[in-house]
Every structure is written in C-alpha cells, then in structure tokens.
Amino acid sequence: MGLKNLGKPWSDRFEVGLHPFIESFNASIKFDFLLLQEDLDGSIAHARMLGKTGIINADEASQLEKGLNQIRLEASQGVFNADQPAEDVHFAVENRLIELLGPLGKKLHTGRSRNDQIATDIRLWLRRKIDEINFDLENIQKILLGHAEKNLYTLIPGYTHLQRAQPVSLAHHLLAYLEMFQRDRDRLVEVKSRVNTSPLGAAALAGTSLPIDRLYTADQLNFTSIYSNSLDAVSDRDFAVEFIAASSLIMVHLSRLSEEIIFWSSEEFSFVKLTDRCATGSSIMPQKKNPDVPELVRGKSGRVFGHLQALLVMLKGLPLAYNKDFQEDKEALFDTVVTVRNSLQAMSILLEEGLEFSLDRLGSAVESDFSNATDVADYLVSKEVPFREAYQIVGRLVKLCMKEGILLKDLSFDQWQDMHPAFDQDIYKRLTPEHVVASRISQGGTGFAQVSAQLENWQNQFSSLKE
C-alpha cells in the first residue's frame, strides 16, 4: 500500500535512473523499516512544530498528524509493508502521506532533511531499547540473587589461574555477577543520557532559514536537550559506539558466566547438573547432555565485539558532515540489541530452570585440597610469627602432606608441633572450610557476615525499585 509510481527523494536534476543493482545496493528500506514507529513519532512532532511556528497553518498540521496516524494504523494492520522501490523508511512514509493527503503531504519535509530525520529516529529507537535491556539485566540480577539467598552457607572452591585458591561462599561468587551487571546498567544509563539529545532541526548539515522551534520538537519527543552544533548533530555516532561498547561488556560478563557454567557442568567439576529444559543431547552418544545455552552465549559475544569494531572503522576517516557510510550503523545496532537481549533472556532461563547446584559435590570439593593453607599462615601470624616466616613454614607443611599423600587436616599434632611450637590443638578447627570462610571478615570478603550484609543491600535495592 502506498508504494506505486514512486519518484525519487532527490531533485529533477537527474536525467537517468539508477542502475537496478545500485538502486538495491543503495536502499536501506529492508532494515530501516524497523524504525517506522520512531519515524512517525518524529514526523508528528515536526508537523506540530510547523503548525505552532506558522510555517504551515494549524489545519494543515492537524491533517498531517492525522495522516501519519493513519499510516501507523495501517502498519498495525499489516497493510503498510514498505519495500523497494522506496529507498528508505522516511521516503516510504512521505509517499504514503502524499497518497493520503495529496499536495499537503509534500509539506511535511519542510525545514528538515533525511540526515537529521534518521539521526532522530535512531536515537528514539535506541533510547527505548536501552530501557528494555536494562530491564533484562535487572531480571537476571534478581534470579542470581535468588540463588545467592539460598546458598549463603554453601561453599565452593575459589580459583585463581583456574587453580584451587581458597573456599568461598557460593552466594559470594554469584553476587560478583550482580556487581558486574550493575555496572552494565549504570553504563547504559550514562549512554542513554547522551542518546537523549535531539538532532532534529539541524537539517542537512547547516540548519534552516525557516523559523523552526527545535526546543519544541525536543520537548515533544522527550529529549532532554538539543545539539548545539548542526554539523555535529547529523554526523555524531558516538552514542552508537558507546552503546555497542557497553553491550560488549554485557556480553563479556555473560560469556564469563557461561564459561564457568560450562566448566561446572563437566564431569570433571560436576558442580552443577543441567536439566532437560536447557540442555541438548548428542546425535551419536546417548549419554551426552550438552550445555548449548552457555556455549551459544559465549559464541555470540563475538558478534557484538565485531559490530563495535565495524563502527569504529566506519567512523574513523569520515569528514564532516553526513556521509552514506552512516547507513552501516543501523544493522550493527539492530543486531547488537537482538543479540544482547536474546543472550540475557536465554541465560536467565538457564539460571532459573536449567541448572541445579550439586551440593554434595561442592561440599566434598572444599574438603579435598590445600585451599586452607593461607589460614594456617594467618594462624601463625596471630601467634606473632612474622608472615613471611609463617608462609615458608606452611609451604614445608604442604610439601610434607603431598609427599605422604594426605591433607593438612590429616597431619598429626606431633607433626604440627615438630614444624613449629606455636601450633596448638585449635589448629584443626581453623582448618575447616566453614571456619576458613567465616574468618574472612574484611569488607567485601566472603565471610558469612559480610555476604549476608551484601544480600540485604541487594534485597533493599530491588525492593526500593518497586516502591
């Protein structure tokens, strides 16, 4: 509907039509039609402004707004599905408006260019998508918090260099991801503050001689400010780079969590079991249960990183102001949003329905290593043994245990005393994983009291959002 006998969005200066392949190569309608609602919103605000300033009369402005709402209705009914020969979503809307209103429809583009029009549309769209991603991040935080609340006293080996280091509360481990995702949310808020600046009225690059009111259109579209330089307004894509950079960090955090789940679900770790809801099998090995969700999320991170690189390379050599290269920003932005949202939602389902922690396995894991060695050194320090001396003593104790094929807890009291007279019977209590974890009383540590306080902080934070 509304796409027959289209002219071109440029002047009659041209005598020969585009080569058919170049026409298709040049068009963006196949992907920028996603911006239809934003284009209609921006056009309605622009029409109202034209009427308010007297550039067109009030009745004309009203008729333009009605026509644009008619197009919105047609789109909702599935009868306005633009495609070539329309070059882009703006031209498709304008031509349908002309079909509906006749010559009046040709007045809508007064005082603006497709350059500031697309710059406005993409900001309106991205502003809404940032809110949706922020919601997805909050949801995964709440799911992680639910697991953490149930596992304050569940212990898990903590690693450095992927080697057993010290036992930690499982809740503490999970809360680390809440912190990461909170930084992601904070970054999105910052990006949104720069997305939320109106370029509308900058026209092609230099503004317009017509008495438009840019502050009025900005207010109509809920922008918090306007660009103060028209060249910058139509050529700025910093916000797109910032958004994909912030999205890349979201994917980094999801990929790190994915990696841990993949490790934990392996036979070698067996810290979690995958449920049938979120795992697949092998076409040849009937015993297999594969962690497809975290593997896909881990893999999809590369898509977003690639989009960031593509935008940076696209922008780095562009002179002011608008260049056709900018058409390449949309597919990168659109795919980034889809990839991030799908990854967040898939990971949320996995965390909520797709895995179960193997508490027995976790319990035995923290009992079967030397991750309490630092606590033996701290024990000696509490007996006024210098730390570096205590460190060497514990190193010799570990060496002795490894030679005999035992753990620190299996040493006889005489062996402790032979190594240093400061050791007393209470050393055995200090070696238990529960005591090791509970003793971490420094702020931000894994001690139960500290983690309990952090759980309460997160509970209060999410409760305050409901009020």
Tell me the two tokens of residue 326: 């900018």
CA distances from 84 to 35, 174, 446 (A): 16, 50, 60
Among residues 11, 161, 412, 464, the one annotated as catalytic is: 161
d(CA 139, CA 228): 37
Mode of pairing for the β-strands spanning 272-274 and 355-357: antiparallel
Dihedral pair phi/psi, residue 273, rounded to 5° = -115, 135
Q: If we measure between CA atoms, which residue out of 96, 88, 156 comes closest to residue 117?
A: 88
Q: Is 247 a catalytic residue?
A: no
Q: If we measure between CA atoms, which residue out of 293, 223, 195 comes closest to residue 42?
A: 223
Q: Is 442 a catalytic residue?
A: no
Contacts for 426-429: CB closer than 8 Å, 24+ residues apart: 427/376, 427/379
Residue that is written with structure tokens 């974890």 in the block: 437
Half-sphere exposure of 361 (CA within 13 A, CB side): 13
d(CA 93, CA 99): 10
| DSSP letter for each residue of 262-281 | HHHHSTTT-SEEE-TTS-B-
Q: Which residues of 34-43 are buried (b: 16+ CB within 10 A; e: fewer)?
A: bbbbbbbbbb
Q: Answer for the pair 223, 197: CB distance below 8 angstroms, yes or no.
A: yes
Contacts for 384-388: CB closer than 8 Å, 24+ residues apart: 384/422, 385/420, 385/422
d(CA 231, CA 330): 20
Dihedral (CA of 270, 276, 278, 281) sign:
positive
- Residue partners of 66: CB distance under 8 A and separation at least 6: none
Q: Answer for the pair 221, 125: CB distance below 8 angstroms, yes or no.
A: no
d(CA 218, CA 455): 41
Residue that is written with structure tokens 């330089």 in the block: 229
- Residue partners of 197: CB distance under 8 A and separation at least 6: 123, 223, 224, 225, 226, 227
DSSP state of 290: B
Among residues 193, 225, 266, 282, the one annotated as catalytic is: 282
Catalytic center residues = 161, 282
